[in-house]
Structure 1
Amino acid sequence: MVDFTRRQVLSQSVAAALGASVIGVASGEEVEETDTPGAPSVAGSLKRFSTTAFGAEVTGPFVFEDGSLLYSLQHPEGENPEPFGRAAVGYFNGFQFKFDGSNDDFPEVGVPDTEEKQRQVRSAAGDYEILVQGREPINGGAERLGVVQTPDGTDITQENFAGTQYGGAATNPDCNQFVPSNDEGTEGYLFTNWENSPGCVSRVPLSQDENGEWSADTGNAMNLTNTDSLREHGGTRINCYGDLSPWETMISAEENYAHPRVSLTATVSDIVEAGSGEGLIGGCQFWNRPNPSEISGAIESYAESGDLDENFGPQGYWALTGVEFLAYYLGAERDDQGDGENLATTLLDDVYPNPYRYGYFVDFREPTADEPEAVKYYVMGRASWEAPDIEGDQRTVYGCSDGDSKGIYKFVADEPIPEYDDPMDVAGTLYAPKITNDAANAAEAGERNSPAQTPLEIEWIELGHATNGEVESWVAEYDDVTQADYLSAHADWEDGDEVTEAAIKEADLSVIENGNQNYITNEDIVEWAEQYEANGPDGVDEDLRRVPFLETRAAAKEIGASIEFNKAEGVDSVDDSQPGDFIYFGISEFNDALADDEGDIQMDRVDGGVVYRGVLESDYNVSTLEPVITGPDFTDSPEDANDALRNIDNVYTMRDGRVICCEDGFGGPARSYPNDGLYVYQPNVVVSANSAAVGSGSTGSVPLTASSLPAGFSGARLTVSVSNPEIASITGVSFPDALGLTESSISDDGSSATIRVADVNTNVQSGAMDVPLATLDVRANGGGTTDLTVSIEQMDDENGNAIEAEVRNGIVVGGPKTVVGDAAPTDPDGDGHFEDLNGNGRLDYEDVQVLFSNMDSDSIQLNTGAYDFNENGKIDFADVTALYEEVN
């Protein structure tokens, strides 16, 4: 994303910054001295593929089917030599990833240690060739790439309109997603986000020739924001990263930084209890103020005059830039706007953007049609979305909200999203995270753990359930609010009155004290939280159901969610992800609310950020995030920081499991050079024992696999152990035919099996994925759960070198016997839950009765994993209801 606040602290002299970087003097803000264990570090390996031109972030990576790599050159310094001085999207001609899981397919590019190197896009494999550049003519000359227009076709730029704009028009290309239009994947459309306000998403036809070179057809390109389909949603703003959906459409994320209702760690109830929002209020409350981005200066003047006790900056106020330009996009009349420097107070009282229409995921359905249909997923929550990741079940969506004291969220649709005939019928549940492990907040015990060494355990808190159409109808109720309403609701002012500084001041002070009465009120949010705590998410008044969807961050804070993440800037998993696959979350800076003395997370500070990895469980839930990449402390020496990943931005998981990691830390401390880079993360090999649910007295199979073998495989010796053989025991081991020499031995009590394999015929090739090593036969001896623990004693590649490998342990759920005859319960649909409690091989009403009658028995209560049908972590009457609904 474009972080203007960070860039403001950098040296204003480009030459001075370049000179400092070359001689090894760190630039940027001074930071508190820290020495965090494990910073920097990598669980696996990290290799630098490219550095970008001076002033630019690395954003929008995309890998084509043939392995070609593309990314955006976002807001480069204009003094760079052509073609690196203008925003652009380009690809690396002459290079393709091999998809073999190994970083050996490219050489590492060195650090840019001269001004010449710092002024260009560099790589050690392939040449960066520009495909398109911002503001170039497209669509037969009717538009300019990335530039939004008014309904009458006027470009919305500061050359044509007086006022503020979030970034220069078409200077911030970010996410890129390619949707093929032929079976070979050599023709199609490149969708690109333009991170401005008004925001823009463009579509450019691309084609690849027989030599593998890509070219763009700008004559037939279009800005989708200028179409009626998106204009009906109010347009868009600050389009950041995105995702290619499983149904092959572009999903664009709106990074609406102006959405915070309260600043940093404050809550709405803090404001209500204090009787004022002074020092606590967020920038969104000034959305419809005349000249909204000037609120910070106004507050400073009110403090100087004694009308306020303190001078403060409402969080997100700076992102109110460009809001009035959105009004012109929607067709507002342009009155006298002054000379562009000394702005007149123009009251926009005819057409004005609705704040609740921005901060969503936007899906471009029918991507190859003459005009794709734009759909906003209002039901997935409103935030400063950096990125979504839609899982292979086509129901589960994870999202990262960028900025300070923000959240990561989860949405689960009732049915696969593309199966809804009307996207407005998409229904589902929105969740916020709660970090639950004591190690994450050990500061309360007088010590701080390192984020490099401490996983995060997550419980997902339900915020609410709705349909997309319901949420949109709630949004629509605020469509007619204008700047005139800001004055009439909060000052002694009526339509037709002169807009004076005194009237604006009166309104500002009223909003600071009591909140903006034009939108959802502070009291509404507090009342929703009280009803939620008393009655649960489904027990709130009908008119309050809107709160968690329209005021997602504020609502999550009120009920104790862990809204502490700082700059959550990336989330991704492999396309068509399945249970057992990894999902990666990038936290660009691990500081502020993550490293203070409050909240659920209180750990050491790492300004260079952390990349977390989770495992998608059987229901696509993620319950644990483990750190796999930790950036540098900003007080580390360049020798430690030059080759470390600093301030992760976009993450992109390739189909071979490697992860492209992009940086957003331009000019910050620690390094000897200012440029951001693109790195490729190669995870360690993971040897996994799967989990299984086995009925008591029955035997099930547990596969043992290696995630990938980039350097091939010669053999391994390992042991698998059962932690509690009274619940389950290992009774046998079998091997795939591909492994030439195999041997196993099982302990007398079945508590462990030692396995030895050798690939003497070299059947396992370099780059093989999901390689089976063995299959364990596991018998359930009783009710309960037991761990399957894997221990690797030796594992070698085809050259005899030791393989760096991690283990992923499994769980066996032993199903208990019930009071119904001698039959053991079964799991008919293989989801890990024993719906068939009476053991007759099917789910029927008698199973519901068995659960109801035996709910308090040890055989049920000790098997939460088997009988927790509503997945709330305990056995209760709601599980009986959930099972009954499955029968019906």
Structure 2
Amino acid sequence: MRVSVAAALGASVAGVASAEEVSESDTPGAPSVRGDLKRFSTTAFGAEVTGPFVFDDGSLLYSLQHPEGGNPEPFGRAAVGYFSGFQFEFNGDNDDFPEVGVPDTEEKQRQVRSAAGDYEVLVQGKEPIQAGSERLGVPQTPNGTDLTEFEGTSGGYGNNPDCNQFVATDDEGTEGYLFTNWENYPGAISRVPLSRDEPGEWSADTDSEEAINVVNTEPFRDIGGTWVNCYGDLSPWGTMISAEENYSHPRVSYTYTVGDIVESGTGVGKIGGCQFWNRPNPSEIGNALGDYVDDGEIDEVFTIQGSWSQSGIEKLAYYLGAEPVDQTGDGNLATTPIADVYPNPYRYGYFVDIRDPAGDPPNPIKYWVMGRAAWEAPDIQGDRRTVYGCSDGDSKGIYKFVADEPIDEYDDTDDIAGTLFAPKITNDAANAAEAGERNSPAQTPLDVEWLPLGSATNGEVESWIAEYDDVTQADYLETHADTDWQTDPAAAVREADLEVIRNGNRNYITNEEIVEWAAQYEENGPAGVDEELRRVPFLETRAAAKEIGASIEFNKAEGVDSVDDSEPGDFVYFGISELNDALADDEGDVQLDRVDGGVVYRAELEPDYNVSTLEPVITGPDFTDSPEDADDALRNIDNVYTMRDGRVLCCEDGFGGPARSYPNDGLYVFQPNVRLDVSSVAVGQGDAVEAEVVARNVPEGIAGGEFTVSVADPDVVGITSASYPDSVGLSEPPTVTDDGATASFRFADVDDAMEPADTDFTLATVTLTGRGAGVTDIDTAGSLDDDDGEAVDVEARSGLAITGPANVGSGGDSPTDPDGDGYYEDVNGNGRVDYADVELLFDNLESDSVASNARAFDFNQNDRLDFDDVVSLYAEVN
């Protein structure tokens, strides 16, 4: 094998651990996959794989993000391309494409490769559009000057295409607009007409008047523009949603809290980058620390999380119309502040919905009410109310927002109302290090409780943000320094820096306000905080969540997605690019073995679209693993994209890291194992209820199989009958044991009922009769064969059966569960839930009939019976 390009060029990426830096080895289950993982493509040297999108016809595109310029054309320039001559078959099976081999020569490492289809470029960064007055992916000032004309870094305008979403304008899905995020600071989003011809080939029209950088329009300037547009989503209502990856938002660095700063009386070693947002030359604060240490003003040089990403803030000001100033002064200090137009930090770090994609110009809105973070991606569920989002970077969060009504049904987007949630990891196995152990992330699910941070409307949050619109760099100096900056700018910057490091930036929400919000939250709950403090969790989301003990420990949460129009029972996939740092230290709620190659979790949507358990399905390699183990493993997951047949595209962002024999990132396709599920049920004593047995993630080509359904405790419920649906072809009559504990089934799919579109297939129904109050598991086990006679991997998933208590108090009927949620709200059994049920529960809270069936009446879901269960039932009645 020839020497790889990485070795030849000495390639490395800042922030990627080397094998020498990683002390762990042989983490159990690293690497591993619960399903099938197959490499579809490797990208060109230097590039990440980002922005996957699958068209209705099965065509695939992705972005060639920041490739190395020495690659041969067309792979040496940033681009978006598709794989000509290939379409996914949506049959749930990875057999629809051959696997591409590892790039074991320099020639292979310098190009985009696939064993299925040829990568054809659709658009390239900096390509002329609008008759040459603009360049694709390059934002401009209001007078049409490219921001590349100004000094300073920006992340590389036109070099970082990330998310791609195709918004169709015809019923066939063959014409529409390609929206692309350009991951720069300030950010950019482009729109280019895209169409497919009769032979099935796609082409972009960059010469069209409709090909524009949408950020260079007045509606975008009116909302402040954008900041680091990363990944995104296609909304259920057919619009592009772009995520702003605001790496500058950390209030505190890494695992610290604002309370740590207030308690210690100084931010030295703890303060985060957002506190220097309106500092003249803000990204230079890190270098200035060295001067302050040398002069004895502070006692240590430390990393200010997020400060590196602030180097484009002045360019954002120019984008908004500020007059350029001389900021080339003496070293880190002597700079001229921008005092006219300056961006408000609270306007960046949101999901941007382009509500009128075909408009001239399009109409953008920001979902202020969904929280402010370094958003990598959103995922809007099929209820159109529930949104999961992941925030990229070290010690960050995954968050949830639930709207009061479907988001697209609000006539005025200012009226969008809902509640923002942060995660709390609750299971002991996740933090076993406290007991002298440390579990493998490959073998340890994470149980999630969602902590409500606050409720508001989109318009309310925007009004709070607007209060900070007039803050400029001059305010940084005038508020925090006694020295007149016009007389001695260097001394003023120095004095202001030291004050902000010690006591925080008073131009924005203060440290004391965040700590006071948390104190009131703990005492009164999220609805009981002072009106002036309601803004805190929406504008300072990460800091607020950390302050109340949420598990803000995720490192590089870079992907979240589910199938379009998701339903309960479907999966949401979360990609964690690196499982290290706060996830693998000796503090917090998560203390697991370190796996620098990352983990992909999946979570099943519950009836209310909540997720409560993250189970690992793909674990990357340790960076001490050998190439033999790491070459074919998924390393450093970035974007995830769930196709309509349940398979998941997995994109890598691990270029230059150790372990592999080659440096290239790749795109993999994950095919989950077939799952054999049985539904959970609640039943009254002596009553009967049906439970379905469903095979999920079924690929095309299942020939048949056999399976069983068993009740762990037949004294609670017993199986009294079983049957097949009509769609099951050839079957052996099901048998039920005399004690009602087990039903057995055997079938053959002779009618090919398991079509590609039927990734969920009902195999059988069992009738369960309640025999005695209690709770018991319903277990499944089975085996399936494919059309080639090969065994198919099957994961069995248990259900739960709850038999309700006998009558409560004297007389009356047995309680019932009207809504099937496993809780018996109809305490008196009269078929409705009303105040009489509340009174009956209150009067009999300590009775044997209630105490012996605490699970049925645990309405506050705290795993015990208490008076708050009465209060919770009363709240439901009212």
Q: TM-score range by the shorter chain?
A: over 0.9
Alignment match, 2:200: 212
1:233 CA drift (Å) = 1.4
Within-5 A mapping of 1:321-470 = 321-338=311-328, 345-470=335-460
- Does the residue aligned with 2:792 lie in a helix, a strand or coil? coil
1:212 CA drift (Å) = 0.7
1:163 CA drift (Å) = 2.8
- Does the residue aligned with 1:714 lie in a helix, a strand or coil? strand
1:51 CA drift (Å) = 0.6
Amino acid at match of 1:181: T
Please tell me whether residue 510 in structure 1 is matched to residue 499 in structure 2: yes
User: Is the CA contact 2:483–2:491 (under 8 Å) kept in the aligned structure 1?
Assistant: no
Which residue of 662, 665, 669 maps to 1:676?
Answer: 665
Q: Deviations over 1:364-390 (max 9, x none)?
A: 112233332211111111110111111
Alignment match, 1:71: 62
User: Is the CA contact 2:522–2:548 (under 8 Å) kept in the aligned structure 1?
Assistant: yes
Q: Taking structure 1 as the reference length, what is the TM-score of the superposition?
A: 0.94
CA RMSD, 1 decimal? 2.4
User: Is the CA contact 1:282–1:315 (under 8 Å) kept in the aligned structure 2?
Assistant: yes
Please tell me whether residue 153 in structure 1 is matched to residue 149 in structure 2: no
User: Is the CA contact 1:336–1:344 (under 8 Å) kept in the aligned structure 2?
Assistant: no
Please tell me whether residue 141 in structure 1 is matched to residue 139 in structure 2: no
What CA distance in whole angstroms lies between the structure 1 residues aligned with 2:857 and 2:222? Answer: 46
What CA distance in whole angstroms lies between the structure 2 residues aligned with 1:29 and 1:321? Answer: 31
Structure 2: tracts of 5 or more residues without a match: none
What CA distance in whole angstroms lies between the structure 2 residues aligned with 1:147 and 1:711? Answer: 45
1:884 CA drift (Å) = 5.2
Query: What is the total number of aligned residue pairs between the two structures?
Result: 868
Within-5 A mapping of 1:558-577 = 558-577=547-566
Q: Deviations over 1:545-591 (max 9, x none)?
A: 11111111111111111111110111111111111111111110011
Please tell me whether residue 312 in structure 1 is matched to residue 273 in structure 2: no
Deviates more, 1:875-884 or 1:730-739: 875-884
What CA distance in whole angstroms lies between the structure 2 residues aligned with 1:576 and 1:766? Answer: 18
Amino acid at match of 1:359: G
What CA distance in whole angstroms lies between the structure 1 residues aligned with 2:4 and 2:756? Answer: 46
Q: CA 1:288–1:730 in structure 2 vs 1: closer, same or farther (change >3 Å)?
A: same
Q: Deviations over 1:176-231 (max 9, x none)?
A: 11111111111111111111111011111111111111111212211221222221
Please tell me whether residue 112 in structure 1 is matched to residue 103 in structure 2: yes
User: Is the CA contact 2:333–2:494 (under 8 Å) kept in the aligned structure 1?
Assistant: no
Alignment match, 1:707: 696
1:64 CA drift (Å) = 0.4
Which residue of 699, 714, 725 maps to 1:736?
Answer: 725
User: Is the CA contact 1:174–1:193 (under 8 Å) kept in the aligned structure 2?
Assistant: yes
Structure 1: tracts of 5 or more residues without a match: 1-12
What CA distance in whole angstroms lies between the structure 1 residues aligned with 2:851 and 2:342? Answer: 56
Q: CA 1:576–1:346 in structure 2 vs 1: closer, same or farther (change >3 Å)?
A: same
Q: CA 1:343–1:93 in structure 2 vs 1: closer, same or farther (change >3 Å)?
A: farther
Q: CA 1:872–1:206 in structure 2 vs 1: closer, same or farther (change >3 Å)?
A: farther
Q: Taking structure 2 as the reference length, what is the TM-score of the superposition?
A: 0.95
Deviates more, 1:819-828 or 1:396-405: 819-828
What CA distance in whole angstroms lies between the structure 2 residues aligned with 1:192 and 1:77? Answer: 20
Q: CA 1:824–1:415 in structure 2 vs 1: closer, same or farther (change >3 Å)?
A: farther
What CA distance in whole angstroms lies between the structure 2 residues aligned with 1:886 and 1:347? Answer: 56
1:828 CA drift (Å) = 4.1
Which residue of 48, 56, 59 maps to 2:50?
Answer: 59
What CA distance in whole angstroms lies between the structure 2 residues aligned with 1:878 and 1:357? Answer: 40
Alignment match, 2:284: 294
Q: CA 1:342–1:698 in structure 2 vs 1: closer, same or farther (change >3 Å)?
A: closer
1:46 CA drift (Å) = 0.6
Amino acid at match of 2:105: T
1:674 CA drift (Å) = 0.6
Deviates more, 1:578-587 or 1:749-758: 749-758
- Does the residue aligned with 1:149 lie in a helix, a strand or coil? coil
What CA distance in whole angstroms lies between the structure 2 residues aligned with 1:52 and 1:21? Answer: 16
Please tell me whether residue 532 in structure 1 is matched to residue 506 in structure 2: no
- Does the residue aligned with 2:241 lie in a helix, a strand or coil? strand
Which residue of 620, 623, 633 maps to 1:634?
Answer: 623
1:855 CA drift (Å) = 4.9
Q: CA 1:513–1:29 in structure 2 vs 1: closer, same or farther (change >3 Å)?
A: farther
1:152 CA drift (Å) = 1.8
Q: CA 1:476–1:79 in structure 2 vs 1: closer, same or farther (change >3 Å)?
A: same
Q: CA 1:282–1:117 in structure 2 vs 1: closer, same or farther (change >3 Å)?
A: same
Q: CA 1:559–1:360 in structure 2 vs 1: closer, same or farther (change >3 Å)?
A: same
What CA distance in whole angstroms lies between the structure 2 residues aligned with 1:503 and 1:118? Answer: 51
Alignment match, 2:79: 88
What CA distance in whole angstroms lies between the structure 1 residues aligned with 2:200 and 2:670? Answer: 25
Please tell me whether residue 172 in structure 1 is matched to residue 145 in structure 2: no
Amino acid at match of 1:78: G
What CA distance in whole angstroms lies between the structure 2 residues aligned with 1:858 and 1:130? Answer: 72
User: Is the CA contact 2:39–2:666 (under 8 Å) kept in the aligned structure 1?
Assistant: yes
- Does the residue aligned with 2:190 lie in a helix, a strand or coil? strand
What CA distance in whole angstroms lies between the structure 2 residues aligned with 1:831 and 1:67? Answer: 38
1:714 CA drift (Å) = 2.9
Q: CA 1:368–1:851 in structure 2 vs 1: closer, same or farther (change >3 Å)?
A: farther
Amino acid at match of 2:452: E
What CA distance in whole angstroms lies between the structure 1 residues aligned with 2:324 and 2:526? Answer: 44
What CA distance in whole angstroms lies between the structure 2 residues aligned with 1:21 and 1:240? Answer: 24
What CA distance in whole angstroms lies between the structure 2 residues aligned with 1:414 and 1:860? Answer: 34
- Does the residue aligned with 1:345 lie in a helix, a strand or coil? coil
- Does the residue aligned with 2:87 lie in a helix, a strand or coil? coil
Q: CA 1:421–1:772 in structure 2 vs 1: closer, same or farther (change >3 Å)?
A: same
Q: Deviations over 1:55-83 (max 9, x none)?
A: 10000000000100010111111111111
Q: Deviations over 1:300-349 (max 9, x none)?
A: 11112211100112011101111111111111111335599999723101
Which residue of 612, 616, 621 maps to 2:605?
Answer: 616
Amino acid at match of 1:651: V
Q: Deviations over 1:693-713 (max 9, x none)?
A: 323332111110111332523
Amino acid at match of 1:189: Y
What CA distance in whole angstroms lies between the structure 1 residues aligned with 2:504 and 2:44? Answer: 44
Q: CA 1:325–1:246 in structure 2 vs 1: closer, same or farther (change >3 Å)?
A: same
User: Is the CA contact 2:86–2:117 (under 8 Å) kept in the aligned structure 1?
Assistant: yes
1:250 CA drift (Å) = 1.2
Please tell me whether residue 663 in structure 1 is matched to residue 645 in structure 2: no
1:162 CA drift (Å) = 2.1
Q: Deviations over 1:461-483 (max 9, x none)?
A: 11111111111111111111110
What CA distance in whole angstroms lies between the structure 2 residues aligned with 1:245 and 1:622? Answer: 20
What CA distance in whole angstroms lies between the structure 1 residues aligned with 2:275 and 2:326? Answer: 26
Alignment match, 1:778: 768
Amino acid at match of 1:54: F
- Does the residue aligned with 1:351 lie in a helix, a strand or coil? coil
What CA distance in whole angstroms lies between the structure 2 residues aligned with 1:305 and 1:341? Answer: 15
What CA distance in whole angstroms lies between the structure 2 residues aligned with 1:57 and 1:42? Answer: 22
User: Is the CA contact 2:4–2:662 (under 8 Å) kept in the aligned structure 1?
Assistant: no
Deviates more, 1:64-73 or 1:810-819: 810-819
Give the share of equivalent positions with the same residue, in percent.
69
Q: CA 1:80–1:817 in structure 2 vs 1: closer, same or farther (change >3 Å)?
A: same
Q: CA 1:876–1:541 in structure 2 vs 1: closer, same or farther (change >3 Å)?
A: farther
Alignment match, 1:3: none
1:20 CA drift (Å) = 6.8
Amino acid at match of 1:384: A
Please tell me whether residue 247 in structure 1 is matched to residue 237 in structure 2: yes
What CA distance in whole angstroms lies between the structure 2 residues aligned with 1:149 and 1:880? Answer: 60
1:850 CA drift (Å) = 4.2
- Does the residue aligned with 2:303 lie in a helix, a strand or coil? coil
Please tell me whether residue 130 in structure 1 is matched to residue 118 in structure 2: no
